[in-house]
């Protein structure tokens, strides 16, 4: 104790008390921050896991639906339908654009837009496809129905016409809206 | 006539405290012992007078009782210690008290004016220390050297001193204190009493200053720095673990959510970006997965159509004129019924033995059996096609729904 510089010691004591107090305060703050950060990281890691598990879906999705940006005009839309591969005959000459609406499934937007077509001279009943004979027509419609990116809600076959043909009602192509699928919107 | 009282025991187990007034005595004390310094080893003064080079100044003492609210500034009592004794005290770790401190506290603790006579009886001479108190304050202090106790001139010199004090401080009571031997009865008068060990009832030990100038740096600032350092160290070690843990987690989070970097430095166009942008991405993905798992709705339509057409076409004599599937035909059925899922126009050769309705019902029954569907005739669903020559119906056309 002898000849200790008392004011300096007092100063040190005050500083020490402040440090101790600060430590006490910071300790709880840091612990809380650490806990929150861990929770956040945990949440993210779980998210990543789920996302990784669902990652193949994205590939399937991209493979199943053509991107909307590919559709630039009526002709590219017509080509996407690819009626020839189904053995069907259709014509782009009388094809008209019907409605273009975001697809809602159970009132939820999935990132798909329906681009629908009608044959103009059919009075908006639907889109006309034809084939050399009825067997091919039916086969063709079946082949068409297997394709995910194509949707129609009804088939009409009328023999009154001289050529085997069918009217597909609500004939639409599903195109995917790229990027941020959480925001509904139609790409031009 | 006097015995030298040089040693005092406060209790049976006490190692003892020596009243020491000579340097040789002090030096011969064992380590870690306790001693009250008096006599020539200490010099006290209310003035700034210096006792000489052999003495070293100690901490100053207040000449009045300590108070939280000192009314007026009191004169400081300077205390000097024998340099050699101070050094010995420090090197031998001897706890040192000063007799003058004890006299002082005795004096300032009483209101009445008093003269205290203390000192130290050495072999060669007797040191007499006189302290004058008034109003709980030390007013004057001075020393006298008398011959040794056993010297023939001691009694007369003592008498002379006492008379001098009486004349200088008339009306003051004189108190004769240890370690001086108590005064024999023939000295005692109404104005002088023996108080003996009374000032030493509560022993006080003081730090000593053994060298001039400032103490070494570590001595002065060490304790403070040590305290500060210890607290800082403890604080740091307490904070480090949680802080480090937080940093690690934070860095991990930053790294994992960094869309730019992969561990091998490759850029990643990673879901982390999506995570930061859209938290409901997962939900959408899940819905897309479900959507992909369901077959397109029109497959059922096309399959039904093919099956039905095959079944009906294989029915004898039946010709299909038109076929609708998918909820609504372009020729709406009447009667406000819900639109049928399937509708068709079929033609059969007319059977003139039955009415058109009867033939139709029979046909419906057959078709229903073949297809497994509940079919019925549409409103106004019967039409007879007459031959060009007229008269008898050639074919009957039915509109069937189901």
B219 with A4: Cβ contact below 8 A: yes
Nearest to A182 among B271, B284, B327 (CB): B284
CB-neighbour burial class of residue B69 (10 A; exposed 0-12, middle 13-18, buried 19+):
exposed
Q: Which chain B residues have a beta carbon less than 8 Å from that of A86?
A: none
What average pLDDT is seen over chain A? Answer: 82
Closest C-alpha among B312, B323, B397, B316 to residue B360: B397
Mutate to test the interface with A, among B238, B259, B291 (most CBs of A within 10 A): B291
Residue B344 · residue B312 · CB < 8 Å: yes
B276 touching A, CB under 8 A?
Answer: no
Residues 40-59 of A with CB under 8 A from B: 40-41, 44-45, 47-48, 50-52, 54-55, 57-58
Q: B117-142: string of b/e by CB count within 10 Å (b at 16+)?
A: bbbbbbeebbbbbbbbbbeebbbebe
Percent of chain A with pLDDT over 70: 90
B221 with A5: Cβ contact below 8 A: yes
pLDDT reading at A92 higher than 50:
yes
Residues belonging to chain A: 188
Chain A: give the shortest CA distance to residue B175, in Å: 33
User: Tens digit of pLDDT for each residue in A134-158?
Assistant: 888 888 998 988 888 898 888 888 8
Interface pTM, i.e. ipTM: 0.74
Residue corresponding to tokens 């302290």:
B131
B298 with A108: Cβ contact below 8 A: no
Residue corresponding to tokens 């006792």:
B51
B233 touching A, CB under 8 A?
Answer: no
Closest C-alpha among B305, B293, B372, B381 to residue B341: B305
Question: What is the rounded CA–CA span in Å between residue B307 and residue B54?
Answer: 131
Q: What is the pLDDT of residue B280?
A: 66
Q: Which chain A residues have a beta carbon less than 8 Å from that of B289?
A: 54, 57
Q: What is the pLDDT of residue B11?
A: 45
pLDDT reading at A188 higher than 60:
no
What stretches in chain B show pLDDT beneath 50?
A: 1-13, 266-267, 269, 329, 332-336
Residue A167 · residue A125 · CB < 8 Å: yes
A153 with B298: Cβ contact below 8 A: yes
DSSP per residue, A83-148 = GGGGT-B--SSSEEEEEEEEEEETTEEEEEEEEEEEEGGGTTS-EEEE-SSHHHHHHHHHHHHT-T
- Indicate the DSSP class of residue B158: H
Q: Is the model more confident about B67 or about A168?
A: A168
- Indicate the DSSP class of residue A186: -
Tally of CB atoms within 10 A around B387: 11
B380 touching A, CB under 8 A?
Answer: no
User: Tens digit of pLDDT for each residue in B235-256?
Assistant: 998 888 888 888 888 888 777 7
Q: Which chain A residues have a beta carbon less than 8 Å from that of B327?
A: 153-154
Question: What is the rounded CA–CA span in Å between residue B155 and residue B126?
Answer: 12
Q: Nearest-CA residue of chain A relative to B216?
A: A3
Tally of CB atoms within 10 A around A1: 8
Mutate to test the interface with A, among B225, B237, B246 (most CBs of A within 10 A): B246
Helix A6-64 with B217-256: angle, nearest 10 deg = 10
Question: What is the rounded CA–CA span in Å between residue B138 and residue B66?
Answer: 12
State which H helix or E strand residue B193 sits in. Answer: strand B192-196
**Token pair of B335, please?**
């009667």
Q: What is the pLDDT of residue B303?
A: 87
Secondary structure of residue B75 in the 3-state scheme: coil
Could you give the count of Cα atoms lying within 13 Å of B138 in the half-sphere of its Cβ? Answer: 29
- Indicate the DSSP class of residue B280: T
Q: What is the pLDDT of residue B271?
A: 56
A75 touching B, CB under 8 A?
Answer: no
Nearest to B235 among A19, A153, A181 (CB): A19
Q: What is the pLDDT of residue B259?
A: 57
Closest C-alpha among B389, B52, B245, B361 to residue A33: B245
Q: How confident is the model at residue A122 (pLDDT cuts 50, 70, 90)?
A: low
Q: Nearest-CA residue of chain A relative to B347?
A: A159
Chain A: give the shortest CA distance to residue B237, in Å: 10
Nearest to A44 among B222, B256, B291 (CB): B256
Q: Which chain B residues have a beta carbon less than 8 Å from that of A151?
A: 296-298
Q: For strands A172-176 and B42-45, give the pairing.
A: unpaired
B259 touching A, CB under 8 A?
Answer: no
Mutate to test the interface with B, among A59, A145, A161, A183 (most CBs of B within 10 A): A145
Nearest to A61 among B230, B235, B288 (CB): B288
| N- to C-terminal Cα separation, chain A | 87
Nearest to A57 among B249, B256, B289 (CB): B289
pTM score: 0.51
- Indicate the DSSP class of residue A65: S
Question: What is the rounded CA–CA span in Å between residue B196 and residue A50?
Answer: 94
Q: How confident is the model at residue A14 (pLDDT cuts 50, 70, 90)?
A: very high
DSSP per residue, B359-395 = HHHHHHHHHHHHH-S--EEEEEEEEEEE-TT-SSEEE
Give Cα A147 distance to the centre of its chain: 18
Q: What is the pLDDT of residue B71?
A: 63
A124 touching B, CB under 8 A?
Answer: no
């Amino acid at each position: 104790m002898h000849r200790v510089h008392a004011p300096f010691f007092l100063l040190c004591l005050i500083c020490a008390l402040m440090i101790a107090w600060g430590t006490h305060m910071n300790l709880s703050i840091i612990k809380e921050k650490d806990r929150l950060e861990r929770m956040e990281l945990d949440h993210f890691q779980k998210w990543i896991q789920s996302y990784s598990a669902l990652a193949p879906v994205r590939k399937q999705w991209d493979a199943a639906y053509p991107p909307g940006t590919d559709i630039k005009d009526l002709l590219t839309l017509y080509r996407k339908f690819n009626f020839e591969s189904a053995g069907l005959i259709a014509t782009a000459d009388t094809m008209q654009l019907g409605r273009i609406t975001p697809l809602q499934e159970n009132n939820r937007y999935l990132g798909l837009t329906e681009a629908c077509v009608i044959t103009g001279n059919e009075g908006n009943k639907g889109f006309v496809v034809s084939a050399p004979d009825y067997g091919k027509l039916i086969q063709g419609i079946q082949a068409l129905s297997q394709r995910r990116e194509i949707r129609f809600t009804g088939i009409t076959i009328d023999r009154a016409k001289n050529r085997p043909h069918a009217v597909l009602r609500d004939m639409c192509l599903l195109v995917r809206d790229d990027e941020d699928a959480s925001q509904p919107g139609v790409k031009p | 006539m006097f015995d030298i009282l040089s040693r005092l025991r406060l209790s049976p187990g006490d190692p003892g405290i020596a009243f020491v007034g000579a340097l040789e005595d002090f030096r011969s004390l064992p380590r870690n012992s306790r001693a009250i310094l008096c006599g020539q080893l200490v010099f006290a003064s209310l003035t700034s007078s210096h006792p000489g080079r052999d003495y070293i100044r100690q901490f100053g003492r207040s000449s009045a009782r300590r108070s939280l609210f000192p009314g007026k500034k009191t004169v400081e009592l300077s205390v000097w210690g024998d340099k050699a004794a101070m050094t010995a005290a420090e090197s031998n770790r001897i706890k040192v008290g000063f007799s003058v401190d004890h006299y002082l506290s005795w004096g300032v603790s009483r209101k009445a004016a008093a003269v205290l006579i203390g000192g130290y009886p050495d072999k060669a001479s007797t040191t007499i220390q006189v302290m004058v108190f008034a109003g709980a304050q030390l007013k004057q202090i001075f020393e006298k050297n008398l011959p040794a106790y056993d010297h023939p001139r001691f009694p007369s010199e003592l008498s002379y001193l006492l008379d001098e004090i009486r004349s200088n401080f008339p009306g003051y009571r004189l108190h004769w204190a240890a370690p001086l031997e108590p005064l024999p009865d023939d000295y005692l008068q109404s104005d002088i009493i023996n108080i003996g060990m009374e000032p030493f009832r509560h022993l006080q030990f003081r730090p000593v200053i053994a060298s001039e100038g400032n103490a070494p740096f570590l001595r002065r600032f060490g304790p403070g720095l040590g305290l500060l350092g210890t607290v800082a160290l403890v604080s740091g070690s307490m904070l480090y673990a949680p802080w480090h843990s937080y940093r690690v987690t934070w860095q991990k989070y930053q790294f994992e959510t960094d869309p730019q970097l992969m561990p091998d430095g490759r850029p990643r166009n990673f879901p982390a970006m999506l995570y930061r942008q859209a938290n409901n991405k997962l939900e959408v993905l899940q819905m897309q997965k479900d959507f992909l798992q369901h077959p397109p709705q029109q497959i059922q339509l096309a399959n039904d159509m093919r099956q039905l057409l095959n079944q009906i076409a294989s029915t004898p004599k039946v010709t299909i004129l038109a076929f609708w599937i998918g909820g609504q035909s372009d020729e709406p059925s009447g009667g406000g019924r819900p639109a049928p899922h399937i509708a068709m126009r079929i033609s059969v050769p007319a059977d003139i033995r039955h009415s058109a309705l009867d033939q139709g019902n029979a046909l419906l029954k057959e078709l229903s059996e073949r297809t497994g569907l509940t079919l019925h005739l549409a409103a106004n669903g019967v039409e007879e096609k007459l031959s060009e020559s007229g008269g008898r119906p050639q074919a009957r056309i039915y509109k069937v729904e189901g």
